[in-house]
Amino acid sequence: MDRPTVLPTPLEVQVKARPLPRHVGIIMDGNGRWAELRGQPRLEGHREGSVSVREVTRTARRVGVQALTLYAFSSQNWARPAEEVAGLMELLREYLESERAEILDNGIRLNAIGEVEKLPRYVKDPLERLMADSAHNTGMVLTLALSYGGREELLRAARSLAESVARGELDPAHLGADDLESRLWTSGLPPVDLVVRTSGEQRISNFLLWQVAYAELCFTDALWPDFRTEEFLRCLSQYQGRERRFGLTSAQLNRDETPQRAKA
């Protein structure tokens, strides 16, 4: 898909020159409010929000973020009005079809986490095809959190551990964090370094509950449909200006006693 060459802004040049978060998660909030403020149906906010998805994905890929996870549809979103849920599923199908060429042409690997089996077939089919066709891409991992909930993820992981213990495959006295992490939907992805939430809300909302243990949090008042390149770059810049101590003191960090996980 041909598009105009994007010239980097001074902020983008600055961000690219400094250490980036390996894995950014985004809680894309404010689509409904954006539409209501304009007297439009809520679905139009979601439609405009898909433009932000495209632009933020392009920017993340361009600056060198390794993994981007977008909270697209939560386990709790199924309880929304049936008309809105149906509209969201149709928008997701449209996104998967319209962005297919861009994802493949830019070396992006598409991934999905959550109870994906609950998605309607007309969404699952293009999702699974694009995941399979992009499986060997190495440019960036774009993960869509679909029918996703952090509690649900942890519960499934705990059940898997319990089943392995019951079969005698694991000794419960020697279970470690790695045993649980290997059973999370995010297994194989880089550690989450930064979580962004739009629309002024300051909640995690059941998103990546285990993974955000040491993540930096960035909250912005921008509604998701208004969250574009410059706002995303400001969040990356804010992350780059923070000191990540992982439970240590600044003095310890200055003596290069940072734990391996902080250096990774």
Q: Is 62 annotated as a binding residue?
A: no
Residue whose C-alpha is closest to residue 91's, from 22, 31, 33, 8: 31
Known catalytic membership, residue 77: yes
All residues at 6 or more sequence positions from 205 whose CB lies less than 8 Å from its CB, including other chains? 27, 29, 71, 74, 197
Give yes or no for a contact between 51 and 223, defined as CB atoms under 8 angstroms apart.
no
Give the tokens for residue 85.
């849920």
Known catalytic membership, residue 137: no
Residue whose C-alpha is closest to residue 119's, from 145, 98, 140: 145
Three-class secondary structure of residue 244 per DSSP:
coil
Q: Is 84 annotated as a binding residue?
A: no
Residue 117: in which H helix or E strand, if any?
A: none
Q: Is 137 annotated as a binding residue?
A: no
Of 29, 106, 111, 193, which one is the catalytic site residue? 29
The phi, psi pair for 258, rounded to 5°, reads: -60, 135
Of 77, 137, 179, 226, which one is the catalytic site residue? 77
What percentage of the chain's residues is helix, strand, coil (to nearest 5)? 50, 15, 40
Q: Is 204 annotated as a binding residue?
A: yes
Q: Is 113 annotated as a binding residue?
A: no
Q: Is 33 annotated as a binding residue?
A: yes
Q: Is 261 annotated as a binding residue?
A: no
Q: Is 205 annotated as a binding residue?
A: yes
Q: Is 147 annotated as a binding residue?
A: no
**Cβ neighbourhood burial of 92 (10 Å; 0-12, 13-18, 19+):** buried
Q: Is 106 annotated as a binding residue?
A: no
Q: Is 64 annotated as a binding residue?
A: no
Give yes or no for a contact between 225 and 55, defined as CB atoms under 8 angstroms apart.
no
Q: Is 78 annotated as a binding residue?
A: yes
Q: How many CA atoms, within 13 angstroms, populate the side-chain half-sphere of residue 20?
A: 22
Give yes or no for a contact between 71 and 153, defined as CB atoms under 8 angstroms apart.
no
Three-class secondary structure of residue 196 per DSSP:
strand
Q: Is 30 annotated as a binding residue?
A: yes
What residues act catalytically? 29, 77
Residues annotated within a binding site for Mg(2+)? 29, 216
Residues annotated within a binding site? 29-34, 42, 46, 78, 80, 197, 203-205, 216
